Amino acid sequence: MLNKKIKDETAAFAILGAMIITFAITIGVYEYINYTSLKEVNTSINMAQEGSSDMQQVNVKMQNVPANVMTNDTMTNSVIDVEDTQKKNEEEYEKLKKEKKVSSAADKYYIKVNYGAQVVTVYTKDSNGKYTNPVKAMVCSTGRYTPTSGTYRTLGKGNWWPLMGDVYGQYSTWICGDILFHSVPYLTSGDKSSLEYWAYDQLGQRVSMGCVRLTVADAKWIYNNCPVGTQVEFYSSSNPGPLGKPTTKKISDAPSHVRGWDPTDSDSRNPWPKYLKELEQKKKEEQKKAEEEKKKEENKQNTVTNTTTNTTTDKNTNTTTNTTVDKNTNTTTNTTTDQNTNTTNTTTDKNTNTTTNTTAGKTDTNTTNTNTTATKKPSTNANTAGGGNAIIASGTSSVNTEL
């Protein structure tokens, strides 16, 4: 029994010892990796401060993950020391001035980076020498390590500089520390078809590590027009500025051979102009087809309307006009008018006959026959309206004479 107990305790201690050793090894490996990573970061920062000619200062080794999934937890520090960064920037600028690498053209433009609205606005001087005239606005993407305030002088330029995450940027302009103006990152140096298209779609959002991402066209504009020594101010505001906030085309849904290019790149090999032209042509054809279909539908509706109208109108006209109007005309007009005329003639004649016979006193049969004959003649009305009877006595006869 005792031997069994000793064996069990020995086994337990052995297991516990193994667990302790495993834990210690794990901690050691973790610390070694962390130490190596921090050492590389510090080395790259020191190179940046020393103004390395090949600009490896921005090649801070990070996990090889797309820029769009980099989070604020990628590195340990949350913000840069603005005051210290400004001081070192001034020192670098003074060195450049002594080396006569700064020209008077450096004061032509003044760049403001509004990381609150994700907009870069470029100004020139007004008549009072103040930078109040806006000349260009650019949509941008900043990040966690972007300076929150302060004014700095640009210190250098380069194309296809390496960036954090084993990626590369076109038309880079060094602002301060590890902060640059540059294009949206590319996966392969010198390959303009390897653009991180998902990151391009995020322009206007706070997604970079700290650099100021721009379209190729905007990064190139700063690269070509703003000499070393140009002032760059950082601030935050919800107001995008006097020129507003530009927008960019979303490219993730484009074909794979197209979306790997920045749409604003002026390179003659850029497939975007041809692709957009094809899209426009397709849109016009679809619009034309839609218009033709619409016309066909309208013509079809008009045909139905005409058939219905003709049928209804004919039926109404034939039935109503022929039956109603004809009957009214034939029955009412002919019957009524004839009856009125006949009645009038008869009445007039009778009145005339009665008056004449009464006044004449003695009227023979011939005179009465004459009056009766006159009744059937149209001149009866004239006798009634304007005639009179002259009585001439000659024996027993009398004669009516029209006046």
Chain segment 374-390, per-residue pLDDT in tens = 444 444 443 333 444 33
Residue 2 lies in a domain: no
DSSP state of 269: T
Answer yes or no: do 235 and 363 share one domain: no
Nearest to 213 by CA among 68, 43, 40, 88: 68
**Which residue in this structure is represented by tokens 């005179």?**
367
Residue 357 lies in a domain: yes
Mean pLDDT of the region 89-101: 95
Answer yes or no: do 103 and 227 share one domain: yes
- What is the rounded CA–CA span in Å between residue 152 and residue 175? 7
Instruction: Answer for the pair 169, 163: CB distance below 8 angstroms, yes or no.
Output: yes
Answer yes or no: do 331 and 381 share one domain: yes
- What is the rounded CA–CA span in Å between residue 100 and residue 82? 27
- What is the rounded CA–CA span in Å between residue 91 and residue 70? 32
Residue range of the domain that includes 62: 22-265
Number of other residues whose CB lies within 10 A of the CB of residue 304: 10
What pLDDT band is residue 20 in, cutting at 50, 70 and 90? confident
- Mean of the per-residue pLDDT values for the chain? 73
Answer yes or no: do 79 and 166 share one domain: yes
pTM equals 0.57
Answer yes or no: do 139 and 220 share one domain: yes
Q: What is the CATH number of the domain that holds 173?
A: 2.40.440.10
Answer yes or no: do 115 and 50 share one domain: yes
The 10s digit of each residue's pLDDT in 270-314 is: 999 999 999 999 889 888 888 888 888 888 887 766 555 555 444
Answer yes or no: do 337 and 199 share one domain: no
Instruction: Answer for the pair 102, 231: CB distance below 8 angstroms, yes or no.
Output: no
Q: What is the number of domains present in the chain?
A: 2
Answer yes or no: do 63 and 202 share one domain: yes
Alpha helices in 80-215 (DSSP H): 82-98, 197-200
- Domain final residue pick, 265, 291, 323: 265
Answer yes or no: do 188 and 308 share one domain: no
Answer yes or no: do 318 and 374 share one domain: yes
Please report the pLDDT score of residue 235 as a whole number: 97
Can you spell out the DSSP letters for 90-149? HHHHHHHHHTT---GGGGS-EEEEETTTTEEEEEEE-TTS-EEEEEEEEE-B-BTTS-SS
Token output for 150:
């302060």
DSSP state of 394: B
Mean pLDDT of the region 19-40: 58
Please report the pLDDT score of residue 15 as a whole number: 79
Please report the pLDDT score of residue 164 as a whole number: 87
Residue 139 lies in a domain: yes
Model confidence at 18: pLDDT above 70: yes
Mean pLDDT of the region 88-115: 96
Nearest to 219 by CA among 193, 239, 243, 248: 248
Residue 327 lies in a domain: yes
Higher pLDDT, 60 or 23: 23
Residue 297 lies in a domain: no
Model confidence at 188: pLDDT above 90: yes
Residue 276 lies in a domain: no
Residue 13 lies in a domain: no
Residue 243 lies in a domain: yes
Model confidence at 169: pLDDT above 80: yes
Please report the pLDDT score of residue 201 as a whole number: 98
Q: Which residues contact 270 (CB under 8 A, 6 or more apart)?
A: 192, 261, 262, 263
Answer yes or no: do 91 and 188 share one domain: yes
Answer yes or no: do 312 and 258 share one domain: no
The 10s digit of each residue's pLDDT in 242-277 is: 999 999 999 999 999 999 999 999 999 999 999 999
CB hemisphere CA count around 118 (13 angstroms): 20
Q: Which helix (H) or strand (E) holds 313?
A: helix 272-316
Model confidence at 200: pLDDT above 50: yes
What pLDDT band is residue 179 in, cutting at 50, 70 and 90? very high
